[in-house]
Amino acid sequence: MKAKIIILLLSIITFNAFSQNVEINLSEECLSENNFKIIKGKVPYLIVKIKNTTEKDIYFKNPFLSVKNELPNFTSVTMHSFPVRNRITKKSKLKSTYKHKAFYLKIGDVLGFNSLEVFENKSFKRKEDRDGEYWSSFINDDLLYIYESIRLQKTLNKKGINKKLSLFTDKDKEYISLNEIKNKLSFSEFHEVSKELVLKDKNNIDIMLNKDIFCFLKKGESIDLKVNLIGFKLLGGVYHLSLGFDKFDNFIQYRNKKIALPLKHENYYLYQGKVESKNLKISF
């Protein structure tokens, strides 16, 4: 009899654990403000709504650390004979070669180092060359170029430097080269250094559970994260967006070591269940 009661209780616990999950909804929105002077009209944004539909207050590592100040980060894994950053110094306008193509984008930090990647096929596989090495689509390089230009231009504007990168159309500003920017900005301003996830004190390591890196949601609460899509609109094309994960990480990476997150922080429980989401198609 006791065994049957225990089995029944375990079944109830298991059902409750998986019947309510965190929901992530993807939608598109256009904002009228356009401070980037790259495209005409409204700026498109991807709205990522994360909702806690469980019965507990939860926390989890933000799966969108690749998006800083609403601007996505792309890392080039394409083989080049020159650094991608040097493309920022080119005066020629970026020409679209993707207008009538379809692409597939996994949303989230799917590469392991806080970056997004666009694929040319549903299988999310990189192309293979004759030597068996893999490389990504050139569209990732163009997106990297666009968003790094925006980041650097925003920093120049904030510091009151009346100069512009070649991508921008401001008629009242003179062109500035990448080498000039390096001389005017500090290392952290130029590279936009990421915040540390952990704080090391002597031989002890404490995880810094700050709101820049972790999300804290009470029961029924939701948050909206915005991703600027100006680069996608500039290039054109059709994009099939989907999550690059079905669970949140229960650890953080620090110097090639995985450090487990605490199961409870204050009154928030670490969420380790499934993440539910539907795909989204956006055309430009």
Is 244:106 a contact under the CB 8 Å cutoff?
Answer: yes
Residue 219 lies in a domain: yes
Does residue 258 surpass a pLDDT of 70?
A: yes
Instruction: Please give the tally of structural domains in the chain.
Output: 1
Structure tokens, 70: 């609403």
Within a domain: 198? yes
| Alpha-carbon torsion angle 84, 90, 92, 95, nearest 10 | 10
Q: Which residues pair with 257 in a beta bridge?
A: 254
Nearest 5°: phi and psi at 27?
-150, 165
Chain segment 58-89, per-residue pLDDT in tens: 999 888 888 888 999 887 765 554 445 555 65
Identify the DSSP state of 167: T
Residue 87 lies in a domain: yes
Strands 43-52 and 214-217: unpaired
154: Cβ contacts below 8 Å, ≥ 6 apart: 69
List, for residues 26-62, the tens digit of each pLDDT value: 999 988 776 667 777 889 999 999 999 999 999 998 8
User: Looking at the domain assignment, is residue 13 inside a domain?
Assistant: no
Residue type, 18: F
pLDDT of residue 25: 92
| Residue 128 counted as domain residue | yes
- 165 Cβ contact partners less than 8 Å away, ≥ 6 residues apart: 88, 149, 152, 153, 175, 176
| Highest-scoring range by mean pLDDT, 92-106, 196-210, 230-244 | 230-244
Residue 5 lies in a domain: no
3-class secondary-structure state, position 137: coil
Does any domain span residue 3? no
Give the domain range for residue 260. Answer: 22-283
Taking a C-beta distance cutoff of 8 angstroms, is the pair 245, 271 a contact? Answer: no
User: Whole-angstrom Cα distance, residue 58 to residue 247?
Assistant: 14
- Asked if residue 17 belongs to a domain, the reply is no
Rounded to whole angstroms, the Cα distance separating 283 from 71 reads 19
What amino acid is encoded at 29 in this protein? E
- Pick 277 or 3 by higher pLDDT: 277
